[in-house]
Every structure is written in C-alpha cells, then in structure tokens.
Amino acid sequence: MDRRTFIATTGVAGVAGIGLMAAAGTLPAAAGTLPAAPGTLPAAPGPTGRLVHSLDELRAAIAAAKPGTVVTVANGTYEVTSPIAITGTRGTCDEPVVVRAESVGGVVLTGEQSFVLSASSDVTISGFAFRGQTTTFDVPPDCRRIRLTRNDFQLADVEGLHWVMIRGDHTEFDHNEFHDKSKLGIYLGIEGAGTDQMAVGVHIHHNYFRDHTFPGDNGGEPIRLGVSPRALSTAAAVVELNLFERCNGDPEAVSVKSSGNTVRHNTFRDSMGGIVLRHGNGTRVDGNYLLSGQNGIRIYGNDHLIVNNYLERISNAGVVLGSGSVRDHYPGEPSKSRTGNDAPDRVRIALNTVLDCESGIVGESHRTLPPLDCAVTDNLLVADSGELVNMPFQDGITWAGNIHWGQGTDGNAPAVAFTRVDPRLAAGTDGVRRLTSGSPAINAASRAYPDVPRDLDGDHRTGRAADVGADEYSPRRPAYRPLTPVDVGPHAR
C-alpha cells in the first residue's frame, strides 16, 4: 500500500494536531473575530519571497527555503503527477517557511499527488484548492508545528480514502473547508506515532465541514480524534469554532477516541452527526450548539465534563450517558476488549440547555455495566412531547437542580432531581432561546462550579450561584453565537 494512502478499514493511519490546550475555563476571541481580512494569507512576497510559475520552480524554491521564506505560487491549475516534497524544511516559530497560493483558492492542484512532508517544522501551507488526488494528505509524526490554513479540500471521492491525516505534534489546522464526499472515509483524522500514541497539541479551529452524504452508518466522520488503540493517550487537542452542516456520513460528527481534549464553541446544524466521546477519558465538551440534527452528545469513559451546551430540535436524544461492555480500559488491554464501550465514571453533565428534542437526557440499557459516580445537575430541559429523562440505571447518578418545562413528561427522573417551572426563555436575533429578566433559573444552581467560569455566550457566571442551563442571564451582546458559513473556512474574516 502506498504509504500516503490510508484506507478506512485498516484503522492504523493517524492524524495529529495543533496548538496547546487552553486552561480550563479560558476562552479564545469571540466567534467571527479572526486575525486576518477575507482572503488574506500569512505573508506576501518580500525580500525573502519568490513568485513561482511552475511545479519545478516550486520544488526548487522549497528546497532552498530558510526561516522566513515565503514561496508564492502564481494562480492557475497545476497537475501534480509526482510529490511536491517538503523534506527537512525548517522555519522557526517566529519565522515559518510559508508556501502559499497567490490568492485564496487561486491555485488548484489536480492529479494524484500534492505536498508530501517529512522531517520538517514551522511550515505553513495556505490558500490551495486540493482536487482530484487519490492519496491522503498526511502530516507525519516527524513533522512539528505545521500549519494548514485557508485551503479547500475536495479530494477524489474514492471508497475508503481519508482526505487529511495529521500525526505530527502541534499542528494547526484552521480556516479550511471540506465538502462533497459521498463515499466511505473521513474528512480529517488525528492520530500519532506508532500504534498507541496521539499527536500532542492539535488545534482545529474555524473550519467548515459540510455535505458528506455517505449512506452507511459508520465510517464517514468529519473529525475522528484518535482510534481505539490510542484511547488512553493524552492528545490535549482543542477543537473549537468549527461549523458542521449536512454532515450525514456517520452518527459521530466529532468522534473522540483519545484523552484530555477540549471540544468547544462548535456549531452542528442539519446533520446526522453529533459529538461522541467514544473512547478515552478527561475530555471537556463546552458551549457547543447542536441544532436541528439527528444526534446530540453521547458519552463513554471517565472524568468528562459536559457543560454549557445548547441542543435544540434533535430528532433523537439530546444527551446520552452510555453504558459499558467494560468497566475501564487499561494499558495492555486486548484489542477486542479495547473496542468495547467503557462505562462512564465520574462524568458531570451540568448547566446544559436541551430544547424540543425527542428526549432530553437519557441512558442506555443494552450493555450491562452502568455509569458510576456521575452527576446530572442544573440543566434546563424543555419540550412539548416525549420524555425529558429516561435513565435506566439510577444508582450511579446524583441528580440536583434541574429545571423541567413543557408538555414533555418527566420520565423516570427522581422527584429530587428537578423543579417544574417556566424558565421564561426568549429567542434572540440568532434564534437562541435565552433567559429573560425574572427567570426562576437565575442564581438557582444547586452547587458551585469553579471550573465553569463562563457560559455559552462567553459571559461570566456571576451572582450568588450560577444560572441553571447553558445561559447566564446578561443584557450584554453575546460574544459567541451559532456559527454561519461567513464565520469559517478559507474566506472568513
């Protein structure tokens, strides 16, 4: 097998990422606030720059590149029949080597190949439209601090072809677009070296994932953050401020199969896929919008925090606290056991808003191992049909402070778990239903949340107690809102 062609059925190829994970509770700039104007690329040709007009000139310029070199490819369509090697190319953190299109999307790379990286660091690839190639774009483990920005990926729609795999530490993947895939295979995967390690410090932000129509029910994830043999490896990846629309290749739009990650401030709209913590421990899912889709948030593994998320009109359950076929995964575990579902332990589901979903917060009963030492607290559940709670295993769960409203039934929620009262919500111009003045949810949280200093909108959690649900009441304009296509992708501000 070609070393750059990763077939979905192998389960071996890897992906790695970018930027170090921010401290818990810290937030980036407001959604839509980006570092550059539309179409702006990292740097323009200058004293260390060169404008090239052929692939041979491009290869020569890359081979001669030094820290701070900017190689600009003249607009046009180039058929790449042999790799464009970036081998031993080293910039610095302050002066990366930049290989860029003359304008965003103005350079179209067709053919079976494109860039092939090895033994390189501090390199930026920006502004290209990748078309037609039948090999996976790979950032290998011997590369560090690679940035892929403002590119458009529509590779060959080949059964089992993964489009981008990142396996090098501290890769940054931002302002890119994936679209129009109809066959088995993922858009973006993150793995690492060997068979059980994850790349460290992946940062995936402001990307647009759309229109994956694979008719199967598994193997078409927009983002797969690890695979089961790597589940216990700490990736410390941050997946934030990305937009997913019409992502129907898999029930898992973001499939997390590694540990210690942050998934925050993303928007999922009109998609089969949701956020699934399938393998691994200690991931934070914070401040995401899941709107008018089929699947919400599903959880396996230990020590996760599910907080500040807004789920509306999900045709299945909003939040699923899973059950297990194994109690805990462990180093050296047999591969058959590692692929099993790890029963949730010490998971906190708190301060979320779940509106008009088929069911609100539910569990599973088709596996034998229940959740243990988990907590479902201070969530806002509203619906005019269905059940707000259906949790078959109750002994391992602490309930407190939730608010229920609407014609939907309370299900089997314990009487001590909730108060039934109108939370007095009103929709803003962005369609998000937030608390209004005088809401009984204000300052009503049952406990303190020192590790949740901000809400869905980016407002500080203030007062004698947090407000119930994802929104902390505030008259201020939200810093965060559901993302739209103008906020993400190659041409976003």
Question: How many beta carbons lie within 10 A of that of residue 267, not counting itself?
Answer: 23
Q: For 22-75, what is each residue's pLDDT tens digit?
A: 333 333 333 333 333 344 455 444 446 889 999 999 999 999 999 999 999 999
* 202/190 Cα distance (integer angstroms): 8
* 106/300 Cα distance (integer angstroms): 43
What type of residue sits at position 288? N
Average pLDDT value over all residues in the chain: 91
What type of residue sits at position 128? F
* 493/485 Cα distance (integer angstroms): 11
Question: Residue 180 is encoded by which pair of tokens?
Answer: 């129009």
Does 303 score more than 90 pLDDT? yes
* pLDDT-wise least confident of 12-26, 64-78, 147-161, 316-330: 12-26
* 87/155 Cα distance (integer angstroms): 23
Average pLDDT over residues 297-303: 98
The reported pLDDT for the residue numbered 45 is 45
Does 439 score more than 70 pLDDT? yes
Does 11 score more than 50 pLDDT? no
Does 21 score more than 60 pLDDT? no
The reported pLDDT for the residue numbered 447 is 96
Does 492 score more than 50 pLDDT? yes
The 3 state secondary structure assigned to the chain is CCCCCCEHHHCCCCCCCCCCCCCCCCCCCCCCCCCCCCCCCCCCCCCCEEEECCHHHHHHHHHCCCCCCEEEECCEEEECCCCEEEECCECCCCCCEEEEECCCCCEEEECCCCEEEECCEEEEEECEEEECCCCCEEECCCCEEEEEECCEEECCCCCCECCEEECCCCCEEECCEEEEECCCCCCEEECCCCCCCCCCCCEEECCEEEEECCCCCCCCCCEEEECHHHCCCECCCEEECCEEEEECCCCEEEEEECECCEEECCEEECCCCEEEEEECCCCEEECCEEECCCCCEEECCECCEEECCEEECCCCEEEEECCECECCCCCCCCHHHHCCCECCECCEEECCEEECCCEEEEECCCCCECCECEEEECCEEECCCCEEEECCCCCCEEEECEEEECCCECCCCCHHHEEECCCCEEECCCCCEEECCCCCCCCCCCCCCCCCCECCCCCECCCCCCCCCCCCCCCCCCCCCCCCHHHCCCCCC
Question: How many beta carbons lie within 10 A of that of residue 9, not counting itself?
Answer: 10
pLDDT grade for 215, boundaries at 50, 70 and 90: confident
Average pLDDT over residues 232-259: 98
Q: Provide CB contacts within 8 A for 318, sequence distance 6+.
A: 290, 296, 297, 311, 352, 354, 357, 359, 360, 361
* pLDDT-wise least confident of 14-28, 155-169, 280-294, 479-493: 14-28
Q: For 100-153, what is each residue's pLDDT tens digit?
A: 999 999 999 999 999 999 999 999 999 999 998 899 999 999 999 999 999 999
Q: What percent of the chain has pLDDT over 90?
A: 87
DSSP state of 12: -
Q: For 377-401, what is each residue's pLDDT tens digit?
A: 999 999 999 999 999 999 999 999 9
Integer angstrom CA distances of residue 190 from 227, 256, 334, 409: 9, 10, 22, 41
The reported pLDDT for the residue numbered 42 is 52
* 470/430 Cα distance (integer angstroms): 15
> Which residue, 322, 331, 254, is CA-closest to 286?
254
CATH classification of 136-487 is 3.30.1950.10, yes or no? Answer: no
How many residues make up the chain in this entry? 493
The reported pLDDT for the residue numbered 33 is 36
Query: Do the beta carbons of residue 369 and residue 325 sit within 8 Å?
Result: yes
Q: Comparing 46 with 279, which gets the higher pLDDT? A: 279
Query: Do the beta carbons of residue 206 and residue 181 sit within 8 Å?
Result: no
* 5/337 Cα distance (integer angstroms): 28
* 65/463 Cα distance (integer angstroms): 55
Query: Do the beta carbons of residue 346 and residue 300 sit within 8 Å?
Result: no
DSSP state of 417: G
Which residue ranges make up each domain of the chain?
Answer: 45-128, 136-487
* 405/468 Cα distance (integer angstroms): 13
* 389/446 Cα distance (integer angstroms): 19
Question: How many beta carbons lie within 10 A of that of residue 464, not counting itself?
Answer: 8
